[in-house]
């Protein structure tokens, strides 16, 4: 997987206006893994695209009435079938983490890359999602020197009590094994030995 000018070469590009410049353009030092489904627990369709591009129709589903005014985005989404959609170039700040803290630093959007996985906390993610996630993470690790396998976290890690994703169904050990097989060995991280 190649990154050219902060965009994935082989991803579907759908630009979101829900982004801005990072306070320090050289500080990309964290990856945050999220889980998302719209409506909750349902997969497929273009609802996530609509949310991240401010085109979500509030009358299309009762849940959408509550969220249609949100201005949110992520850098990339990995769908259940493995398709990757990129909404924000990696050098810009996507609006994915909200109120957050990592190792004493608040405002994680300032220095992180947000990756959404189409899924739910209690539903296992797909094999294709894990493979494409490992490919994407490997490309990010190779291109942004501030990143390391130990600086990959879940949304729940930076917003405990407020967020639960990617949830207990997400297999962190599998991700670390896949990264290790691609030459990226974590040294500590979540305390998982690979």
Residue 3 near residue 75 (C-beta atoms within 8 A): no
pLDDT of 6 > 80? The answer is yes
pLDDT value of residue 146: 97
Can you tell me which residue has the tokens 């600086």?
A: 151
Give the pair of three-digit tokens for residue 117: 């996985």
Asked whether residue 107 is domain-assigned, the answer is: yes
The answer for residues whose C-beta is within 8 angstroms of residue 138's C-beta and 6 or more apart is 1, 179, 182, 183, 184
Rounded Cα distance between 59 and 61, Å, is: 5
pLDDT tens digit string along 102-131? 999 999 999 999 999 999 999 999 999 999
Asked whether residue 56 is domain-assigned, the answer is: yes
Tell whether the torsion through CA atoms of 61, 41, 88 and 1 is positive or negative: negative
Active-site annotation holder among 116, 118, 131, 173: 116
Give the pair of three-digit tokens for residue 84: 């990757």
Residue 116 annotated to the active site: yes
Asked whether residue 146 is domain-assigned, the answer is: yes
**Largest CA-CA distance found in the chain, in angstroms, rounded:** 48
How many Cβ atoms are within 10 Å of 121's Cβ, its own excluded? Answer: 17
Rounded Cα distance between 40 and 54, Å, is: 18
pLDDT value of residue 46: 97
Residue 192 near residue 173 (C-beta atoms within 8 A): yes
Rounded Cα distance between 134 and 184, Å, is: 10
Asked whether residue 192 is domain-assigned, the answer is: no
pLDDT value of residue 192: 42
Asked whether residue 85 is domain-assigned, the answer is: yes
pLDDT tens digit string along 84-101? 999 999 999 999 999 999
Asked whether residue 186 is domain-assigned, the answer is: no
* Percent of the chain whose predicted confidence (pLDDT) is above 90: 94
pLDDT tens digit string along 10-50? 999 999 999 999 999 999 999 999 999 999 999 999 999 99
Residues of the domain holding 158 = 3-181
Q: How many domains does the chain have?
A: 1
Asked whether residue 188 is domain-assigned, the answer is: no
Give the pair of three-digit tokens for residue 82: 């493995």
Asked whether residue 49 is domain-assigned, the answer is: yes
CATH number of the domain enclosing 64: 3.40.80.10
């Amino acid at each position: 997987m190649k990154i050219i000018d902060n965009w994935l070469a082989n991803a579907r590009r759908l630009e979101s206006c829900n982004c801005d410049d990072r306070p320090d353009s050289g500080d990309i030092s964290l990856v945050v893994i999220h889980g998302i489904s719209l409506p909750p627990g349902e997969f497929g369709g273009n609802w996530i695209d609509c949310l991240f591009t401010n085109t979500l129709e509030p009358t299309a589903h009762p849940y959408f009435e509550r969220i249609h005014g949100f201005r949110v985005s992520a850098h990339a989404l990995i769908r259940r079938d493995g398709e990757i959609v990129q909404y924000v170039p990696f050098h810009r700040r996507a609006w994915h983490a909200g109120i957050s803290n990592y190792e004493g630093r608040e405002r994680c959007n300032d220095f992180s890359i947000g990756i959404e996985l189409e899924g739910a906390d209690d539903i296992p993610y797909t094999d294709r999602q894990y493979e494409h996630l490992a490919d994407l993470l490997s490309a990010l690790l190779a291109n942004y020197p501030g990143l390391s396998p130990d600086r990959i976290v879940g949304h729940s890690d930076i917003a405990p009590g407020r967020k639960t994703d990617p949830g207990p169904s997400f297999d962190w050990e599998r991700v670390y094994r896949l990264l290790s097989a691609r030459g990226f060995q974590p040294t500590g991280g979540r305390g998982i030995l690979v």
